[in-house]
C-alpha cells in the first residue's frame, strides 16, 4: 500500500528558541518544529513540510516580524548551502547562543548547574579555515563544479567563494577546475562509478606561506596527470606541495589509504603558541589557527602546570597540546591509538627540540593503569577526545587513579555533559570556557577544569 504524499500547509508562528543545530524552534498546536533561517522572537509564515506527533519541519515563506539581531549574510548561497547555520545572526549573539548551549547541555544531560564563562570569539570571524575538502562534479551542461553537499543530500551547491575559508583556497579551486577541463580530467560520478577526481583537499599554513593540495582520485594513475601537475605548480599560486590520495572504495570516507607525493615534500608547516608543527594530508590539526591558540592556551592556563607536575596528554593526536604543556611541566606523556599520529607527534617533538615529552601508541586508560603498577601517578590529565566523547572505561580509570586535575577539551557539548556527569563522582567543575572555533556554524569547543574533591 502506497503512503499518501504529505500535503504541506502554512501557519503563522513565532520563534521561541534556537535548537542545538541552529534551527529556529516554532510551535504548532503545541508541537515543536525546527525551521531554518528564523531567529528568536521573529514571526513568520511557516510552510510545514513534514509532520509527526512529536515534531515537525518546515521552511520560512515570509518573515512578518524581523529580529533586531538579524544581519545580512555575506555568503551568496547561505540559504542553499546550510553549512553556516548562524550567519544571519549578529556575531555577539552567536557567542551568547553557544555559551547558553554549553550551559544547558551540562544541566540537562549532566545534571550539573554550573557557571559558564562568556564565549571566547574572534575579532574578524571570516575567512578563518585553514583546511577545506570539496567534492567535484560535472553538471548536465558539462561544467566542472566544486562545492558543499546540501544538508541531508548528495547534491552539490557550487561555491565560487566561501566566506569562512582561506581566500587562497578559492583561487586554487578555480584553477584546478579550469585545468581539469583543459586536460579532460573528469570528476568522479558516484552513480556511474566513472571519472577521476573525487575531492580536492587544500590545507594552508597561517604563519608560513605554504599550501598543500591533495587530489583524491578513484584510480592510481590517469592520463594527463604529469602535464596537469606541471601546469598547476607553475601557476602564480603559493602551492608548496601536491599529493595524490587514492580512494577506489565506494564509501563516504574521503581519504583512501594510499598516497603519492607529486610535488614538494608532502607536508606543510605551521605554528601554534610559538611551536612548529608538520602537517600531512591525514594529520589532525585544528582548522582555525587563531582560535586554536586561544583554545590551547586556555587549557594550559586552567591546568596551571608547574615544574613538579607529571602530565598525561590523552587522545594526543600529533602532540599539539602536550608539546605546549611541556614548556612548564616536569614531564609530559602523550598517548594516542593512531600510529600515524604518534609518528607525527614524535617528529614534532624533535622539530621543536623538546626533551621532556614522550609519545606512546596505545589506549590511554590502559597506559595509566600500567604506570600505576610501576608506582607512577599523573598530577594532571589533559583530554581532547573526538566528537563522540570519551569512553566509559577511560573515565572510570580516571576515577580509580584520581589525578589531581583533569582538563577536558570538548568539541561536542552533549557528550561533554554526559562525561562530566560520570566524573562528578569525584571531581568538581572549577571553570567552563566556551571557545568559538567555528564562527557562523552551530559548533562550539569547550574547555573544562575539573579538580579532585578534597585535593590540596
Query: Same domain for 342 and 437?
Result: yes
Query: Same domain for 364 and 226?
Result: no
**Domain-located, residue 1:** no
Query: Same domain for 148 and 112?
Result: no
- Identify the CA nearest to 408 among candidates 426, 393, 423: 423
Average pLDDT over residues 83-98: 95
- Which of 70-84, 109-123, 352-366 has the lowest average pLDDT? 70-84
How many alpha carbons lie under 13 Å from residue 166 in its C-beta half-sphere? 25
- Which of 151-155, 225-229, 274-278, 280-284 has the lowest average pLDDT? 151-155
Query: Same domain for 251 and 330?
Result: no
**Domain-located, residue 81:** no
pLDDT above 60 for 347: yes
CATH number of the structural domain spanning residue 181: 2.40.50.1070
**Per the structure block, which three cell numbers stand in for 434?**
566556551
pTM beyond 0.85: the answer is yes
Query: Same domain for 259 and 339?
Result: no
pLDDT in tens, 37-65: 999 999 999 999 999 989 999 999 999 99
Number of domains forming the structure of the chain: 3
- What are the residue numbers of the active site? 411
Instruction: Identify the DSSP state of 155.
Output: -
**Domain-located, residue 116:** yes
Q: How confident is residue 4, by pLDDT bands cut at 50, 70 and 90? A: low
Average pLDDT over residues 265-270: 95
In 123-191, DSSP assigns E strands to: 131-138, 144-149, 156-158
Query: Same domain for 263 and 357?
Result: no
**Per the structure block, which three cell numbers stand in for 277?**
608543527
CATH number of the structural domain spanning residue 432: 3.40.50.150
Instruction: Identify the DSSP state of 306.
Output: -
**Per the structure block, which three cell numbers stand in for 255?**
581519504
Which residues are within 8 A (CB) of 246 and not within 5 positions of it... i.e. 6 or more apart? 216, 217, 218, 219, 220, 256, 257, 258, 259, 260
pLDDT above 90 for 441: yes
pLDDT in tens, 423-440: 999 999 999 999 999 999
Can you tell me which residue has the cell 549578529? 90
Task: Give the mean pLDDT of the chain.
Answer: 93
Is 214:202 a contact under the CB 8 Å cutoff? yes
pLDDT above 70 for 188: yes
pLDDT in tens, 388-425: 999 999 999 999 999 999 999 999 999 999 999 999 99
Q: Could you say which of 238, 272, 306 is where a domain stops? A: 272
What would you report as the CA-atom Rg of the chain, rounded to the nearest whole angstrom? 24
Query: Same domain for 320 and 434?
Result: yes
Query: Same domain for 167 and 33?
Result: no
Query: Same domain for 116 and 144?
Result: no
**Domain-located, residue 261:** yes
pLDDT in tens, 293-310: 999 999 999 999 999 999
Query: Same domain for 199 and 252?
Result: yes
Query: Same domain for 345 and 400?
Result: yes
pLDDT of residue 239: 95
Is 204:169 a contact under the CB 8 Å cutoff? yes
Chain centre distance of CA 435? 12
CATH number of the structural domain spanning residue 45: 2.40.50.140
Q: Could you say which of 272, 300, 331 is where a domain stops? A: 272
Average pLDDT over residues 371-399: 94
**Domain-located, residue 76:** no
C-alpha 385/C-alpha 367 separation (Å) is: 16
Q: Which domain holds residue 51?
A: 9-70
**Domain-located, residue 211:** yes
Query: Same domain for 212 and 262?
Result: yes
**Domain-located, residue 90:** no
**Domain-located, residue 16:** yes
Amino acid at each position: 500500500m502506497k503512503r499518501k504524499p504529505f500535503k504541506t500547509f502554512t501557519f503563522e508562528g513565532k520563534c521561541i528558541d534556537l535548537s542545538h543545530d541552529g534551527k529556529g524552534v516554532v510551535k504548532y498546536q503545541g508541537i515543536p518544529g525546527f525551521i531554518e533561517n528564523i531567529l528568536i522572537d521573529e514571526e513568520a509564515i511557516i510552510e510545514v513540510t513534514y509532520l509527526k506527533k512529536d515534531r515537525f519541519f518546515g521552511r520560512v515563506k515570509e518573515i512578518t516580524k524581523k529580529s533586531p539581531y538579524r544581519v545580512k549574510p555575506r555568503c551568496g548561497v547561505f540559504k542553499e548551502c546550510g553549512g553556516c547555520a548562524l550567519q544571519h545572526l549578529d556575531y555577539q549573539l552567536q557567542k551568547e547562543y553557544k555559551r547558553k548551549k554549553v550551559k544547558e547541555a551540562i544541566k540537562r544531560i549532566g545534571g550539573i548547574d554550573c557557571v559558564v564563562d562568556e564565549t571566547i570569539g574572534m575579532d574578524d570571524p571570516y575567512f578563518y579555515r585553514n583546511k577545506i575538502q570539496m567534492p567535484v562534479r560535472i553538471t548536465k551542461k558539462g561544467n566542472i563544479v566544486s562545492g558543499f553537499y546540501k544538508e541531508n543530500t548528495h547534491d552539490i551547491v557550487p561555491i565560487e567563494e566561501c566566506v569562512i575559508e582561506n581566500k587562497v583556497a578559492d583561487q586554487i579551486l578555480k584553477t584546478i577546475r579550469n585545468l581539469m577541463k583543459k586536460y579532460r580530467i573528469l570528476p568522479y560520478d558516484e552513480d556511474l562509478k566513472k571519472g577521476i577526481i573525487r575531492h580536492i583537499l587544500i590545507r594552508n599554513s597561517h604563519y608560513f606561506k605554504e599550501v598543500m593540495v591533495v587530489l583524491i582520485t578513484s584510480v592510481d594513475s590517469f592520463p594527463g596527470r604529469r602535464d596537469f601537475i606541471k601546469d598547476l605548480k607553475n601557476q602564480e599560486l603559493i602551492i608548496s606541495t601536491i599529493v595524490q590520495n587514492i580512494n577506489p572504495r565506494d564509501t563516504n570516507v574521503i581519504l583512501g589509504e594510499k598516497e603519492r607525493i607529486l610535488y614538494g615534500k608532502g607536508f606543510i608547516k605551521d605554528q601554534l603558541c610559538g611551536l612548529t608543527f608538520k602537517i600531512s594530508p591525514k594529520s589532525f590539526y585544528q582548522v582555525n589557527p587563531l582560535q586554536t591558540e586561544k583554545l590551547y592556551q586556555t587549557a594550559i592556563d586552567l591546568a596551571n602546570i608547574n615544574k613538579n607536575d607529571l602530565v598525561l596528554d590523552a587522545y594526543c593526536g600529533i602532540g599539539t597540546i602536550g608539546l605546549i604543556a611541556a614548556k612548564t611541566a616536569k614531564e609530559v606523556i602523550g598517548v594516542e591509538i593512531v600510529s600515524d599520529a604518534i609518528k607525527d607527534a614524535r617528529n614534532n617533538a624533535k622539530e621543536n627540540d623538546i626533551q621532556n615529552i614522550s609519545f606512546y601508541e596505545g589506549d590511554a586508560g590502559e597506559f595509566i593503569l600500567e604506570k600505576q603498577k610501576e608506582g607512577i601517578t599523573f598530577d594532571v590529565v589533559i583530554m581532547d577526545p573526538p566528537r563522540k566523547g570519551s569512553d566509559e572505561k577511560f573515565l572510570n580509570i580516571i576515577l580509580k587513579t584520581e589525578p589531581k586535575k583533569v582538563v577536558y577539551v570538548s568539541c561536542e557539548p552533549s557528550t561533554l555533559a554526559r562525561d562530566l556527569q560520570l566524573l562528578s563522582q569525584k571531581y568538581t567543575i572549577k571553570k567552563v570556557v566556551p571557545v568559538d572555533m567555528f564562527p557562523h556554524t552551530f559548533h562550539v569547543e569547550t574547555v573544562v577544569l575539573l579538580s579532585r574533591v578534597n585535593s590540596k
